[in-house]
Structure 1
Amino acid sequence: MSRFRRTALAAALTVATAALSAAVGSAAPATAAPPTAAVALGDSFISGEGAGAYSPVVDLNGVARPFPGWSAPNSNAYFCHRSANASLFQADLPGIQARFNLACSGGQPYDIANASASRAKGRQVAAQLDQLRAVGQTHDIDLVLVGLGSNNSSFTFGSVAEKCANRFIADAWTGWWEFWAYLGGPVPQEPCSDADLATAAQFNAATAETTAAVRQILTTLAQIDADGQHRIVLQDYTNPLPPELASKFWTEDSRSDTRDKFRALGAERYAGGCPIHRASLAPGHRFSQGLGTLVNSVRTTLAAEFPNADLVGLNVQRAFDGARLCEQSASPTGALATPIRLQDGPSGVFVTSLSGYDKLDIQRIANTCGTYFQTCQESWHPNAAGHRVLGRCLSGAASTATRAVACVRAPDGTITVS
């Protein structure tokens, strides 16, 4: 075949191919792929409680609720405290084009498939699965971060923290005889025990609730994610307090927390962010480890039920090692968690020192937290620096080839995920 004929034939084929492409294109225009998304579901350790920079939250009526004032009802959607500093936004997630924080401070397994407002002390937000479905209509969901289990129908993190802190404060400021003389009976002042935090039966019930909720998440994702390609990272919890306090916080005025009434020591620990008995620390860590066991049990059960699911467990129990509250003498400076902080009335001004307050002052301040829980709900949660660390943990879990990883902080601050 001559060069001319080969050239002519090639030209003809080019024209024919172009015509065919044009015909196909006009018959079925190409559809652009939806943008990829990462989504956060669950409770306060995921929503960004304690990290500040909270965004307006859409309520059940579709209205975005900004900060309503400290004296507003705690059920206000805003107090879900969805932070722009939450770990979801701190993580390095290549290929992810949009991020949606659907978690809510105080969230429980019940809230995954049901509106939180329909249970006691719930917030005015839609079911998290309904919010997830809305994201799925416009985005290709590639990553879902889930933190669930520390709040449930048996116990909540907030109630556990409040119980142990209140016992310490009562023990520090009021002598045993004053309870009989002024209050007509004893008020708990002893350190928290394991049974005070959660019993084995309560952990079992919480595990069942959490498993059912995460099962609903997996099932819903299979229905709404068109390409079926998504990773679910199931994260557990880190304790804001250390196994032992720095020696600075052991005694003050020659009084330890085993004495009757130790106000100077109580004030010192409050200023450091850790108003708690030293004897409560070990039960507190066993409680945190129990939450880790709960989350790992959920992952193991559902990995067997959904063998094709890309389900990764993320253990963060040692992510704050060396930088927990009162683990160093300069606390709360340098800590990765928020100190316990209260307001004397819903003023927006936090009490940073309890020095000079008497027992009636302390009772008034404590009552503010009970009446306006939003004034103290940030206490003992990861702060913005803590969420940056958790973001690095999430980055590792998002890219790992294994089914379970642990995120650990070294003494020099190095974070490893393996």
Structure 2
Amino acid sequence: MRRLRSPLVILLLVIPLVGLLLLISDGPAPKLPAPPEDAPRAVVALGDSTLSGEGAGDYEPGTNGENGNWCHRSTKAMINKLSVPDLAKTFNLACSGARAANLVDRPQHNEGPQVPKLLEIARQYRIAAVVVQVGANDEPGFSSVVKDCAEAWLRANVTGCSGALATGWGERVDKMVPKVAAALKAIRAGMRENGYPDASYQLVVQSYAAPVGRTVVHSLRNLGGCPFRGGDLEWVQDKAVGELAAGLRTAAAAADARFLDLSRAGMGREACSTSGTGDGEWFTRLKISWTDLSDEGRSAHAMQESFHPNAAGHEQFARCLSQFLQTSDKAAACVADPERNLRPVPGAAIGARAAK
């Protein structure tokens, strides 16, 4: 049996260790990286097509199919239309088609993930707010749903697209929630590592507006405008975007983020809600780029802009977001005022989905 070391030997080993610990604890804590004190204030957008500016046109060079990059970042995107005091710069990192993983660690369209780019900006600018709009391309597959609804009209499907989705839509949303929550927590963690306590900037999660609804003019329910069945239009407006918004509010709460509900923001301004050419609408109708359709390398994206907010829609969403950023309300909903301009109304946001 091994002999125990004498108390004197143990003491001689412990004393230097205790001294080292005291020296470390008495010294200054390591300083976290942070932007310069006089750095200009900036707001950064992360997410998918709704934030990138898909449908608004005037896309930034390099994001309109060049070298396979279809992020479609528009100079008219809502992030570029913000009106916030003392704001020096806005950065649009959102990319059309992005999923939650594309924010954190998965590249897309020959670009790296979005959060590392945010952190690079955070070391040069003082971040006032990070605006996130993502999740629709995860399990809900909202873009695919819109496509399925159009195909249901084309094939004269009696039940439409909503019949098959009515019972499973909530499950899709529930599967999305932890992925968005994880992306938001990754933003929080990265910002802390770069000298930003949670309270030093705003983290805002936005939901999605319905691009079409029951106001679609019947004569435009065709390939010249909005090829959808009446029941499907009602389902998108009354159920799909609302449940999606509730799920996103749940994800926002998991990261202690603010929440801006856009689910009713486009009511009366959806695509094909007027009988004219679309003036006054905030969303693009079915749009086909015939030039892209005749180009083998671009044909798959010839209808990519369809049923996304147009430039007028982005102006209005920017108006609502600008006002929300200047409040302390934890949540609000973008609702039209008597002049039909959007404004954030506290207490009007949809409630979070019940935990599963």
Range into which the TM-score falls when normalised by the shorter chain: 0.7 to 0.9
| Residue 144, structure 1, aligned to residue 130, structure 2 | yes
- Give 2:203's aligned residue: 232
TM-score, with normalisation over the residues of structure 2? 0.79
- Of 272, 276, 279, the match for 1:330: 276
- Of 204, 210, 217, the match for 2:180: 210
Q: Measure, in 1, the Cα distance between the counterparts of 2:128 and 2:197.
A: 9
| Residue 115, structure 1, aligned to residue 86, structure 2 | no
1:321–1:410 contact (8 Å) kept in structure 2:
no
- Give 1:299's aligned residue: 252
Identity of aligned residues (%): 28
- Give 1:259's aligned residue: none
Equivalent positions of 1:17-416 (< 5 A) are 33-56=38-61, 65=62, 67-68=64-65, 76-77=68-69, 79-117=70-108, 123-152=109-138, 154-171=139-156, 190-193=159-162, 195-196=164-165, 198-226=168-196, 229-246=200-217, 249=218, 269-271=222-224, 273-285=225-237, 286-303=239-256, 311-330=257-276, 332-344=278-290, 346-347=292-293, 372-410=299-337, 412-416=339-343
Q: SS of the counterpart of 1:342?
A: coil
Deviation per CA, 1:276-324, whole angstroms, max 9, x where unpaired? 1111112212111111111111122322xxxxxxx32101122222211
Q: Measure, in 1, the Cα distance between the counterparts of 2:63 and 2:339.
A: 39
1:312–1:397 contact (8 Å) kept in structure 2:
no
Deviation at 1:208, TM superposition (A): 1.5
Q: Measure, in 2, the Cα distance between the counterparts of 1:236 and 1:221.
A: 22
Q: Measure, in 1, the Cα distance between the counterparts of 2:289 and 2:89.
A: 36
Deviation at 1:170, TM superposition (A): 2.8
For structure 1, the residue ranges without an aligned partner over 5 or more in a row are 1-30, 57-64, 118-122, 172-187, 251-264, 304-310, 350-367
- Give 2:9's aligned residue: none
- Give 1:25's aligned residue: none
Q: 1:160 to 1:416 in 2, by over 3 A?
A: same
Q: SS of the counterpart of 2:136?
A: coil
Deviation per CA, 1:244-273, whole angstroms, max 9, x where unpaired? 433xx16xxxxxxxxxxxxxx75xx332x2
Q: 1:329 to 1:130 in 2, by over 3 A?
A: same
Q: Measure, in 2, the Cα distance between the counterparts of 1:86 and 1:224.
A: 27
2:81–2:318 contact (8 Å) kept in structure 1:
yes
Q: Measure, in 2, the Cα distance between the counterparts of 1:66 and 1:297.
A: 32
Relative to structure 2, which stretch is displaced further, 129-138 or 406-415? 406-415
Q: CA RMSD in A?
A: 2.5
For structure 2, the residue ranges without an aligned partner over 5 or more in a row are 1-35, 346-356
Q: Measure, in 2, the Cα distance between the counterparts of 1:84 and 1:344.
A: 23
Deviation per CA, 1:146-169, whole angstroms, max 9, x where unpaired? 1011111x2322211111112212
Deviation at 1:225, TM superposition (A): 4.2
1:194–1:283 contact (8 Å) kept in structure 2:
no
Deviation at 1:331, TM superposition (A): 5.0
How many pairs were matched up?
A: 307
Q: SS of the counterpart of 2:117?
A: helix
Deviation per CA, 1:225-254, whole angstroms, max 9, x where unpaired? 4476101111000001123433xx16xxxx
Q: Measure, in 1, the Cα distance between the counterparts of 2:300 and 2:195.
A: 37
Q: SS of the counterpart of 2:283?
A: coil
Deviation at 1:391, TM superposition (A): 0.2
Q: 1:331 to 1:189 in 2, by over 3 A?
A: farther
Q: Measure, in 1, the Cα distance between the counterparts of 2:59 and 2:148.
A: 27
Q: Measure, in 1, the Cα distance between the counterparts of 2:273 and 2:262.
A: 17
Q: 1:68 to 1:191 in 2, by over 3 A?
A: closer
Q: 1:388 to 1:398 in 2, by over 3 A?
A: same
Q: Measure, in 1, the Cα distance between the counterparts of 2:145 and 2:311.
A: 23
Q: 1:330 to 1:385 in 2, by over 3 A?
A: same
Q: Measure, in 1, the Cα distance between the counterparts of 2:321 and 2:195.
A: 21
Q: 1:219 to 1:282 in 2, by over 3 A?
A: same
Q: 1:344 to 1:90 in 2, by over 3 A?
A: closer
- Give 1:307's aligned residue: none
- Give 2:12's aligned residue: none
Q: Measure, in 2, the Cα distance between the counterparts of 1:227 and 1:220.
A: 10
Deviation per CA, 1:81-131, whole angstroms, max 9, x where unpaired? 1111111111111121111101111110111111334xxxxx211011111
Q: Measure, in 2, the Cα distance between the counterparts of 1:411 and 1:282.
A: 24
TM-score, with normalisation over the residues of structure 1? 0.68
